[in-house]
Structure 1
Amino acid sequence: MLKITLEQWRMFRAVVEFGGFNQASAQIHKSQSSIHNAVGKIEAALEVKLFRINGRKTILTEAGELMLRRANFLLDEAAKVEAIGHTLAQGVETHLRIAVDEVFPQALLYKVLDSISAQFPLLRIELMESVLSGASELLDSMRVDIAISPLTNNDGFNEELCEIEFAAVASPTHALHVLGRDLTLEDLKAERQIVVRDSAISKKSDSGWLGANQRWTVSHMRTSIDMIRSGFGFAWLPVSAIATDLETGILVPLRLNQNARRSAKLYLLFKDGDRLGPAARAFLGELRYQCMQFFD
């Protein structure tokens, strides 16, 4: 028989999270006496001191820091068990949230989404388009159920999904093409590079060559493509996104003596497979199948 309840652990964590017993009382709507009593029972059961008072500050002891790490794990796992139970009770989910990096081929994505909607007509799909670490951040914050990202996560499920090829391109009339010779990175430094910014809010990252003396930074890849079509700069773009432009000559590959073509891997991410419902599982299966067909 356990001596300490989940609710007592929750109140202990609240004291740490909100900076004291008074603050915790206001945030979780429990009386101060209830919170003091819960922490006191934990300390008595374990025969350890969890907090020390320094002036007006409530500070964790060394033992308290250790117990907080274990309590966090226990409470997070309990929340997962409840979420799985809700998923089982509901049967087929009604809402599926997906974050997809903008370099993932759109035609392939639309095909997968259309197939899943045909299988689950009442399913509402929320698609969040992201750049670089944006997709993994959305998954970390539980704002999406599944992510397709160029970055892996430290926890949860990570699976290599595909490899995206990039080509350095500019419009046919761009100054780099006018040179009429193989180009070096020094040539690129003198021209404007169009860069798509990381859509993450907290932890942003840079990717690709950023050596140009002048850069325009935009929020979406489609904006970057439009600017390059109009001759405002150059960039490395996903070949799948500009295939028609390359075929028709609207965009022309740069004659670089190295790194004219690059590639980047995309990963399939989710936190806990047991929490995914039938529609989410069907999406994963269809996505894997279509990627095999597209990239084979």
Structure 2
Amino acid sequence: MAKATLEQWRMFKAVVEHGGFAGASAAVHKSQSTVHHAVQKLEAALQIKLLEVKGRKAFLTDSGKLILRRAEFLIEEAGKIESVASTLSEGVESTLKIAVDEVFPNSTLYQALVKISELYPLLKIELVQSVLTGANELLSNGIVDLAISSIPIYGISCSMLCDVEFIAVAHKDHPLHQQIEQLNFRDLKLHRQIVVRDSATQTSHNEGWLGADMRWTVSHLQNSIDMVSQNLGYAWLPKSKISALIENQTLIALNLEQGTTRALNLYLMCNDTDRLGPAAQEFKEQIIALTT
């Protein structure tokens, strides 16, 4: 049987975070004597000294530092359990928030959304289109329930969905198509490349090969497609997004010496599968079924 209660662990953590019993008292809405007594009982139960009080400040002992790391994990897990219970008690969620990398095939996404809307007609869906680590950041910050991204986050639920094929293209009248010999990276560096900026606010990745001395950076994939279609530069673009432009020969694949195509893996991620509501679970199953 556990010697300490979860409430005692929370009060101990509050004392550390707020530097003393007075600050912890205000944070947990308990009297200062109650917080002090809880920590004393915790120390007595564990038979170790967790805190040293100097004046009005409380400082962790070496043992306290080790115990706190374990306690933080315990408190976090307890919070997850409460969140799962809350989800189960509420039934179907009212809103489903999804971050999707712009390179993900629209047709597949829309098929899944149609199915969800049929099953849950009152469900509100918030779809956020992102680039590179943008979806990861939204998921990590708890802004969305699910994320489709090309960059997996290890340690959470992560399912491989599909490969997206990219090809280097330029407008049919672009000078790169006038060269008889196959193009190498030195040839490409002489011309403007259109790349897509990472939509995350804490990172600075760009999509595409970045060897061009002349480069325009845009915020959305569609901007890149439009610019290349207007003969403003070349770019690596998802083949599925430009198939019509290739068929009518507005865009033509570049005749490269090597690396004419490249594949980008896409993943479906969530922080905790057990905390997903029924609609989110259904969307997850639909997307996986449509891409495998």
Aligned to 2:6: 6
Q: Aligned letter for 1:246?
A: I
What one-letter code is carried by the residue in structure 2 that aligns with 1:76?
E
**82-91 vs 15-24, which moves further:** 15-24
User: Mapping of 1:21-170 within 5 angstroms?
Assistant: 21-52=21-52, 59-170=59-170
Indicate whether 1:240 and 2:202 are aligned.
no
Match for residue 227 of structure 1?
227
Q: Give 1:98 shift.
A: 1.0
Is residue 198 from structure 1 mapped to residue 194 from structure 2 by the alignment?
no
CA distance in 1, matches of 2:206, 2:60: 37
User: How far did 1:87 drift?
Assistant: 1.8
Deviation, 1:3, is 3.1
TM-superposition CA deviations, 1:4-46 (whole Å, max 9, x none): 2222222222344445555545544445444443333322322
Contact in 1 for aligned 2:131/2:198 (Cα 8 Å):
yes
CA 1:74–1:253: 2 relative to 1, 3 Å:
same
Deviations 1:250-284 (A, max 9, x none): 21111111112100101111122222222122212
CA shift in 2, pair 1:215/1:40, >3 Å: farther
TM-score under structure 1 length normalisation: 0.89
CA displacement, residues 88-147 of structure 1 (integer Å, 9 cap, x when unaligned): 212222211111111101122112111110111011111111111121222222211111
How far apart, in 2, do the equivalents of 1:111 and 1:120 lie? 14
Compared CA separation, residues 53 and 161, structure 1 to 2 (3 A): same
TM-score by length of 2: 0.90
Contact 2:139-2:145 within 8 A present in 1 as well: yes
Q: Aligned pair in 2 of structure 1 residues 137, 57: CA closer, same or farther (>3 Å)?
A: farther
Distance 2:228 2:19 in 1: 51
- 1:201 aligned counterpart, secondary structure: coil
- Structure 2: how far apart are the matches of 1:283 and 1:91? 16
Q: Provide closer, same or farther for how the CA distance between residues 45 and 190 of structure 1 changes in structure 2, counting only shifts above 3 A.
A: same
Kindly, what percent of the aligned residue pairs are identical?
Answer: 52
Pairwise CA distance, 1:49: 2.7
Q: Greater CA deviation, 201-210 or 212-221?
A: 201-210
Secondary structure of the equivalent of 1:224?
helix
Q: Does 1:290 align with 2:290?
A: yes
CA 1:57–1:87 in 2, change beyond 3 Å: closer, same or farther?
same
Moved more, 2-11 or 30-39: 30-39
Q: Calculate the aligned-residue CA RMSD, in Å.
A: 2.3
Question: Residues 289 and 54 of structure 1: is their aligned pair in 2 closer, same or farther, counting only changes over 3 Å?
Answer: same
Q: In the TM superposition, what is the alpha-carbon distance from 1:246 to its structure 2 partner?
A: 1.0
Which deviates more, 213-222 or 7-16?
A: 7-16
Contact 2:101 2:132 in 1 (8 A): yes
User: Structure 1: which amino acid aligns with 2:229?
Assistant: R
Name the aligned partner's letter for residue 142 of structure 2: M
Moved more, 174-183 or 118-127: 174-183
Q: Once the 2 structures are TM-superposed, how far is the Cα of residue 185 of structure 1 from its aligned partner? A: 0.4
Closer/same/farther in 2, CA of residues 41 and 260 from structure 1, 3 Å limit: same
The gaps in structure 1 that reach 5 residues or longer are none
CA contact (8 A) 2:98 2:145 kept: yes
Separation in 2, partners of 1:58, 1:14: 11
The 1:16–1:226 alpha-carbon spacing in structure 2 relative to 1, beyond 3 Å, is farther
Alpha-carbon distance between aligned partners in 1 of 2:185 and 2:53, rounded to the nearest angstrom: 60
Query: Which one-letter code corresponds to 2:230 in the other structure?
Result: S
Q: Which piece of structure 1 moves more, 196-205 or 209-218?
A: 196-205
Question: How many residue pairs are counted as aligned between the two chains?
Answer: 292
CA contact (8 A) 1:133 1:204 kept: no
Task: Note the C-alpha offset of 1:60.
Answer: 3.2
Answer whether contact 2:195 2:207 (CA < 8 A) is retained.
Answer: no
Tell whether the 8 Å contact from 2:195 to 2:208 is kept in structure 1 after alignment. Answer: no
Q: Which stretch shows the higher mean deviation, 216-225 or 28-37? A: 28-37
Q: Are the counterparts in 2 of residues 156 and 269 from structure 1 also a CA contact under 8 Å? A: yes
